[in-house]
Amino acid sequence: MTMTDEPLLSIRNLRTRFHTDDGVVEAVDGVSFDVARGETVCIVGESGSGKSVTSESITQLIPMPPGEIADGEVYFDGEDVTTLSDGELRALRGGRIGHVFQNPQGALNPVYTVGYQIREAITAHHDVSKADARQRAIDLLEDVGIPEAATRVDDYPHEFSGGMKQRVVIAIALACEPDLLIADEPTTALDVTIEAQILDLLDNLQDEYDVSIVFITHDLGVVAEIADRVVVMYAGKVMEVGTVEDVFETPAHPYTQALLECLPGRSTLEPIPGSLPSPIDPPDGCRFHDRCTYANGECSVGEQPPMYDRSPEHRVSCVHWEPGSDGLPEPGGDRDVSPVAGGDR
């Protein structure tokens, strides 16, 4: 068996919940997907669908308590990392798995130079001399596109613009040459021009650093730009998984179709009518059924439907795609007939 055929990351039936005064929040409820080596997987879905909790469960960044990984496995390079000790998890984070978050301001310490912070990221995991770590910090700043890196290395975070700060954060995340980079809405706080530059940068770095990326966004425009594969989440469940072509050209789940209708240039700019169900007392059947114009009696009973194969790479959790069913009317041709947003709600 060659090791490289096995996915780098394999999340199986992950369930993460939070114990709150109002009850148990089922934030991530049986999520499974893979990330292959060198690929970019985007997790997309509305606010509250469980994207961040899924990604933060990988290295157990969620606060525990109130959080709890109640079930499932997270295989990273073949090893179930849900069973690691706190020390092993600390070594994993910032080591083989780097994180980048939405707000670069919060990720950097204002009282230390960026060079110091990059050196710390390196020396926390590797035994290198201060001089070597400093040179490595300069190289990293160059790699993430910071001009005059050799002098900028001694500057403090407030001396950088928002976009440049996020580049520094990316440099820190890459400092130990991780196998996996987890980026949770890394461009949401930046303006669109800077966003495009950061997306380009990540694309280039992916090749240079040979790193897999899990990228979280609620913006399908960003997904179209950078994803190899897409995981569509809704209310703690995976609704659809496919290649970027599958999801954009033959979206199968009514939720995915509704999300696509909200893209600029499509039939509507209105958000999907209705809102996410309560994560404390989620409805029976498909979590999306009360917002879905295709829903029938079958959709509101039992469990979330299993993931049915449309092709080996393209899977969808919807009763209309049960083997032998006809599926949904083809969404590709006439975009004016919106399955959800065009309904009379």
Give least dist CB 114 to Ni ion, A.
26
CA distances from 64 to 14, 29, 53, 60, 234 (A): 15, 17, 12, 8, 23
For ligand ATP, the closer of residues 48 and 115 by Cβ is 48
Q: How many residues bind Ni ion (CB under 5 A)?
A: 2
Q: Which two tokens stand for residue 225?
A: 């730009």
**Which of residues 52, 57, 187, 206 is near ligand ATP by CB under 6 A?**
52
For ligand ATP, the closer of residues 17 and 93 by Cβ is 17
Let me know the angle formed at the C-alpha of 192 by 276 and 185, rounded to the nearest 5 degrees. 40
Q: How far apart are CA 105 and CA 107, in angstroms?
A: 6
Residue 155 per-residue DSSP state: S
Q: Which stretch binds ligand ATP (CB under 6 A): 45-53, 70-78, 79-87, 128-136?
A: 45-53
Let me know the angle formed at the C-alpha of 192 by 187 and 197, rounded to the nearest 5 degrees. 70
* Partner in contact with 49, chosen from ligand ATP, Ni ion, none, beta carbon below 5 to 8 Å by kind: ligand ATP
**Which of residues 51, 229, 237, 253 is near ligand ATP by CB under 6 A?**
51
Q: Tell me the one-letter amino acid at 272.
A: I
**Which of residues 115, 178, 254, 279 is near ligand ATP by CB under 6 A?**
279
Q: Tell me the one-letter amino acid at 231.
A: V
Taking a C-beta distance cutoff of 8 angstroms, is the pair 259, 325 a contact?
Answer: no
Tell me which residues in 52-91 interact with Ni ion (CB under 5 A): 52
Q: How far apart are CA 68 and CA 299, in angstroms?
A: 29
Q: Which stretch binds ligand ATP (CB under 6 A): 60-68, 139-147, 284-292, 318-326?
A: 60-68
Taking a C-beta distance cutoff of 8 angstroms, is the pair 108, 117 a contact?
Answer: yes
How many angstroms separate the most distant Cα atoms in the chain? 67
Peptide bond into 323 cis (omega under 30): no
Q: How far apart are CA 147 and CA 233, in angstroms?
A: 38
Give least dist CB 50 to ligand ATP, A.
4
* Partner in contact with 50, chosen from ligand ATP, Ni ion, none, beta carbon below 5 to 8 Å by kind: ligand ATP
Tell me which residues in 232-261 interact with ligand ATP (CB under 6 A): none
Q: Which two tokens stand for residue 301?
A: 């009973």
Residue 63 makes contact with ligand ATP by CB under 6 A: yes
* Partner in contact with 53, chosen from Ni ion, ligand ATP, none, beta carbon below 5 to 8 Å by kind: ligand ATP
For ligand ATP, the closer of residues 18 and 160 by Cβ is 18
Give least dist CB 49 to Ni ion, A.
8
Please count the CA atoms within 13 angstroms of the CA of 78 that sit on its side-chain side.
6
**Which of residues 11, 14, 31, 53 is near ligand ATP by CB under 6 A?**
53
Name the site residues for ligand ATP (rule: CB under 6 A).
Answer: 18, 20, 25, 27, 45, 47-53, 63, 66-67, 218, 279
Q: Under the rule (CB under 5 A), what is the footprint of Ni ion?
A: 51-52
